[in-house]
Amino acid sequence: MGRFILGRLAATLPVMGVVAVIVFLLLRLAPGDPAAILAGDAATPEQIAAIRARLGLDQPMLEQFATWIWRLVHGDLGTSIISNQPVGRLILDRIEPTLALATSTILFAVLVAVPLGVLAAWRHGTWVDRAVMGLSVAGFSVPVFVLGYLLIFGFSMQLRWLPVQGYVSIADGLWPFLSRLILPTLTLSVIYIALIARTTRSSVLEVLGEDYIRTARAKGVTEARVLRRHALRNAAIPVISVIGLGIALLISGVVVTESVFNLPGLGRLTVDAVLARDYPVIQGVILLFSALYVLVNLSIDLSYLLFDPRIRY
Amino acid sequence: MSRPVLEIRNLSVPLPRGADRGYAIEDLSLTVAPGEIVCVVGESGSGKSVTAGAVMGLLPPVLKPSAGQILLEGEDLLKAGPARMRRLRGGRMAMVFQEPMTALNPALRVGDQVAEMLEAHAGRLGRGARRDKVRQLLADVHLPNPESLARAYPHQLSGGQRQRVMIAMALANDPALIIADEPTTALDVTTQAQILKLMRELQARREAGILFITHDFGVVSEIADRVVVMRTGRLVEEGPAESVLCRPQDPYTRMLIAAVPRAEPPPPRARPSLVSPVLATRDLTKNYGGRGLFGGGRPVQALDGISIALQPGETLGIVGESGSGKSTLARCIARFVDPTAGHVRIGGDDIALLPARALHPYRRRIQVIFQDPYRSLNPRRTVGQSIVEGPMNYGLSREAATARAKNLIALVGLDAGALARYPHAFSGGQRQRIAIARALAMEPDVLIADEAVSALDVSVQRQVLELLEAIRERLNLAILFITHDLRVAARLCDRLIVMLDGRIVEEGATAALFADPKHAYTRALFAAAPVMKAPPVEAVP
């Protein structure tokens, strides 16, 4: 198994390489010139050219790429064109809100969706099942920004229970931290609840038809135990896969949600960087995301070992 | 005789509206005394499994007993609430299921699954005591190294071992009644013989009553004290095993008993004259595993130098248990899998190592009938579409292919209306007839029947075998007949090949091989096959 993990980690290197090349090329092919943006509307062509030279953007593309990669393998993500700060520093500054939001979203979604899905499967064909599935369709259909503003309107503006937006670090107190995380988490988790509940339902439903479930019932085991011990564990693998997929998709969901709730996270950093054509920042963030994505996938594959003894790497 | 452990009185279970009959079981009465093995025999749809489900309280919600009583040690189960039923299930009555491959939870260690039986019912037992009890139970069913075996997962055990675990589980709380639903049907004959012996032994020791459900009169004659014969939900005959087997009263019972293939080959047919074989293999070898990116897995030699020859018009039986390589042989010949080495000659051409593109002209000449008629026909295509597709692939016009399909569907004993219908409208036996028609539509040189009658009821099995006999006479077809069942092979095959671990251990004319098996393994197979001890009965038409 150690060999499997090493092999998979080694296999991430070419993946990251391809991502690096594509990100780099796409950014340069996209319209928009960071030097022009930086120089402002009133700048002369000479001023713009000077900025280009300072940033190294006048070098041949291959040379720019080589420079970037060379610094990258030495652990240097580059320097922001706009703020002049190291990209690594910028990412570190912004990672806490994003991490907090992503973690709370996935935890909340799993804690709500898995029991709902199991319940729907167990009460298959009843009103409980139809209600859960109806909610799940609704969850799929509501766009994140609509739901976000609706929640703000209801809970923050009408009821005044929760702050409208912003972020407070956990270091500054648990309630201030949580109270500002509740609405973004609700907003972002709805679609994952829908996705995970649906997958859980169909997976558990399939398992409940298996012979070993009948065996468990024939043993006089209680229904709760049949569901928990015999059904859920065997139904876990598709559910885990979808959760993994969800974590990967979360990256794009985070961008919109952070904008709606004005959270100073990586999503906002990315949007701002894209608008300003801040090449080094965009490249750094995307590389980070793709590395995370690969690690999430690896841990999902490894988690299969916990649930199905037949799987061996 | 003491009070019966199980007494079913006038039990009726209605079927939901729209079914082909009103009742799954109707007015059924039977008893099981302590220490008695009662065999419930019937074909699919006879209601024997519904009976088991009704006793255990495990029927699907659409099936609700409407009348009668089920008394377990005097207590009416139909009046017991869910909590009480849960106490009784696994406590006073336990069940052994047909499919040991799927009846155990794949994600839990077998020891824990046996222990769960104790946890659910004997809650006072401490952890250590429970572990000792599990070990004792596994030892009771003669599993080797109970200590380490308890920590194994089901997929690490053989089919026979899994069924032993199931039995150990059923015995855990010393139930008064054990219901065994076709417990040996999915097992190899040698394993079946061992499991039957084990059940006999345990039952003699524990005085439990056993309700043993089976479709196989061979098994009945091995194990039953009393026999109950069921047909379409009704009891047709009941009595001590000996009298039912030797002097069956009801015509249906006689038909069932007569349909059991007897392990006696019919007189040899006029042997086809020795011309050049239509199909021959030489040193055919197939290895699985041992390669791949990470080099995982031990290589398994599924076929080890197999050489066979099949004459036109001849039926060659390949007999072996699971894992013997008989199905791999069929797949290599049909080139569904690629042989590792060796030769497969069709006519004069070697197709063993031809690339997929070059195989096209040869595909038509070898056709296969598969085991499971429920899964081998595409449910979304009509029978007609399934039959004409192959010939049209080889350039026949739709009209000509349809005309051929009409002829063939008549040849296999179905009417032309069948062509417009979908597979779900047919029974298992009818589907297998369709599968045969589909194969014949290709006008093959060689027909491979891979366990083609194993999934069928005995009476249907007999009809399909008769059909195959008729067809091979008429079309002078060469058939490679792959089966685990010596009795079936005896009936149809001119020659037999016995396989074990990917090798041919014995080979010869059917009658000669039956009269004087040379190899120890062949003799073991013969000894294990459940054979009717009763004299043959005349079938009533």
Closest residue of A to B98, CA-based? Answer: A211
CB contact set of B498 (below 8 Å; sequence gap of 6+) = B319, B320, B504, B505, B506, B507, B513, B519, B521, B522, B525
Residue numbers in B near A312 (CB within 8 A): 296
State the pLDDT confidence band at B403, using cuts at 50, 70 and 90.
Answer: very high
Q: What is the pLDDT of residue B228?
A: 94
Tokens of A271: 């949007």
Q: What is the pLDDT of residue B313?
A: 87
Q: Taking the CB of residue B181, how many other CB atoms lie within 10 A of it?
A: 23
Question: Taking the mean position of all CA atoms in its chain, how far away is CA A85?
Answer: 25
- Tell me, yes or no, if A3 comes closer than 8 A to chain B by beta carbon: yes
Q: What is the pLDDT of residue B1?
A: 52
- pLDDT digit string (tens) for B143-179? 888 888 899 999 888 888 898 999 999 988 889 999 9
Task: Indicate if the alpha-carbon torsion angle B225, B226, B227, B233 is positive or negative.
Answer: negative
Q: Is residue B93 classed as helix, strand or coil in its secondary structure? A: strand
CB contact set of A91 (below 8 Å; sequence gap of 6+) = A77, A266, A269, A284, A285, A288
Q: What is the pLDDT of residue A239?
A: 92
Residue numbers in A near B97 (CB within 8 A): 211, 214-215, 218
Q: Is residue B283 classed as helix, strand or coil in its secondary structure? A: strand
Beta strands B75-76 and B67-72 are: antiparallel
Kindly report the nearest CA distance between residue B404 and chain A, in angstroms.
Answer: 41
Picking from B50, B99, B105 by the largest number of A CB atoms within 10 A of its own CB, the best residue to mutate is B105
End-to-end, the C-alpha distance of chain B in Å comes to 39
Residue type, B436: I
- Among the partner residues A214, A308, A310, nearest to B58 by beta-carbon distance: A214
Residues of chain B above pLDDT 90, percent: 38
Picking from A4, A206, A215 by the largest number of B CB atoms within 10 A of its own CB, the best residue to mutate is A215
Closest residue of B to A308, CA-based? Answer: B107
Q: What is the CATH number of domain B1-92+207-258?
A: 3.40.50.300
State the pLDDT confidence band at B391, using cuts at 50, 70 and 90.
Answer: very high
- pLDDT digit string (tens) for B130-149? 899 999 999 988 888 888 88
- pLDDT digit string (tens) for A140-158? 888 877 888 888 888 887 8
Chain position carrying tokens 């060659």: B316
- Tell me, yes or no, if A125 comes closer than 8 A to chain B by beta carbon: no
- pTM as predicted: 0.79
CB contact set of A185 (below 8 Å; sequence gap of 6+) = A101, A104, A105, A108
Q: Answer yes or no: do B294 and A215 touch at CB < 8 A.
A: no
Residue B295 in this model has a pLDDT that exceeds 50: no
Q: Answer yes or no: do B88 and A220 touch at CB < 8 A.
A: yes
Q: What is the ipTM of this complex?
A: 0.77
- Among the partner residues A220, A230, A309, nearest to B91 by beta-carbon distance: A220
Q: What topology does CATH give the domain A93-307?
A: MetI-like fold (1.10.3720)
Question: What's the CA gap between A141 and A190, in Å, rounded?
Answer: 10
Q: Answer yes or no: do B104 and A309 touch at CB < 8 A.
A: no
**A vs B: CB pairs below 8 A:** 77
- Tell me, yes or no, if A203 comes closer than 8 A to chain B by beta carbon: no
Question: What's the CA gap between A106 and B106, in Å, rounded?
Answer: 28
- Tell me, yes or no, if A212 comes closer than 8 A to chain B by beta carbon: yes
Kindly report the nearest CA distance between residue B428 and chain A, in angstroms.
Answer: 22
Residue B400 main-chain phi, psi, to 5 deg: -65, -40
Question: What's the CA gap between B328 and B392, in Å, rounded?
Answer: 29
Any idea where the domains of chain B sit in the sequence? 1-92+207-258, 276-289+297-365+484-527
Task: Return per-residue pLDDT of chain A as tens, 313 residues.
Answer: 778 888 888 888 888 888 888 888 888 887 777 887 777 777 788 888 888 888 788 888 888 888 888 888 888 888 888 888 888 888 888 888 888 888 999 999 999 999 999 999 999 889 999 999 998 888 888 887 788 888 888 888 788 888 877 787 878 888 888 888 888 888 889 989 999 999 999 999 999 988 999 999 999 898 899 998 899 889 988 999 999 888 878 877 787 888 888 888 888 888 888 888 888 898 888 888 888 888 888 888 888 888 888 887 7
**CB-CB contact of B352 with B307 (8 Å):** no
Residue numbers in A near B94 (CB within 8 A): 218-219
- Tell me, yes or no, if A232 comes closer than 8 A to chain B by beta carbon: no
The larger pLDDT score, comparing residue B207 to residue B56, is at B56
Residue B290 in this model has a pLDDT that exceeds 60: no
B461-470 CB contacts, 8 Å cutoff, 24+ apart: B461/B259, B461/B261, B461/B488, B462/B259, B462/B261, B463/B429, B464/B429, B464/B432, B464/B433, B464/B436, B465/B261, B465/B491, B465/B492, B467/B412, B467/B413, B467/B433, B467/B436, B468/B436, B468/B492
The larger pLDDT score, comparing residue B264 to residue B458, is at B458
Per DSSP, A251 falls in state H
Chain position carrying tokens 């026979």: B160
Q: Answer yes or no: do B120 and A308 touch at CB < 8 A.
A: no
Question: What's the CA gap between B325 and B450, in Å, rounded?
Answer: 12
Q: What is the pLDDT of residue B270?
A: 67
CA distances from A67 to A80, A236, B49, B128 (A): 15, 46, 74, 66
Residue numbers in B near A217 (CB within 8 A): 58, 89
Residue B367 in this model has a pLDDT that exceeds 90: yes
Residues of chain B above pLDDT 70, percent: 94
Q: What is the pLDDT of residue B435?
A: 92
Q: What is the pLDDT of residue B292?
A: 45
Residue numbers in A near B56 (CB within 8 A): 218
Of A294-298, B113-117, B347-351, the range with the highest mean pLDDT is B113-117
Name the CATH code of domain B276-289+297-365+484-527 (choices 3.20.20.70, 3.30.40.230, 3.40.50.300, 3.40.1350.10).
Answer: 3.40.50.300
State the pLDDT confidence band at B539, using cuts at 50, 70 and 90.
Answer: very low
Question: What's the CA gap between B498 and B503, in Å, rounded?
Answer: 8
- Tell me, yes or no, if A235 comes closer than 8 A to chain B by beta carbon: no
Q: What is the pLDDT of residue B540?
A: 43
- Tell me, yes or no, if A307 comes closer than 8 A to chain B by beta carbon: yes
State the pLDDT confidence band at B532, using cuts at 50, 70 and 90.
Answer: low
Q: Answer yes or no: do A215 and B104 touch at CB < 8 A.
A: yes
Residue numbers in A near B166 (CB within 8 A): 215
- pLDDT digit string (tens) for B61-113? 888 899 999 999 999 999 998 999 999 998 899 999 888 778 999 999 999 99
Domain with CATH 1.10.3720.10 in chain A: 93-307
Q: What is the pLDDT of residue B135?
A: 92
Residue B20 in this model has a pLDDT that exceeds 80: no
For residues B200-225, give the mean pLDDT: 87
CA distances from A27 to A39, A75, A211, A286 (A): 19, 21, 55, 12
Kindly report the nearest CA distance between residue A8 and chain B, in angstroms.
Answer: 11
Per DSSP, B536 falls in state P
Kindly report the nearest CA distance between residue B78 and chain A, in angstroms.
Answer: 16
For residues B228-254, give the mean pLDDT: 91
Q: What is the pLDDT of residue A152?
A: 82
Q: What is the pLDDT of residue B368?
A: 93
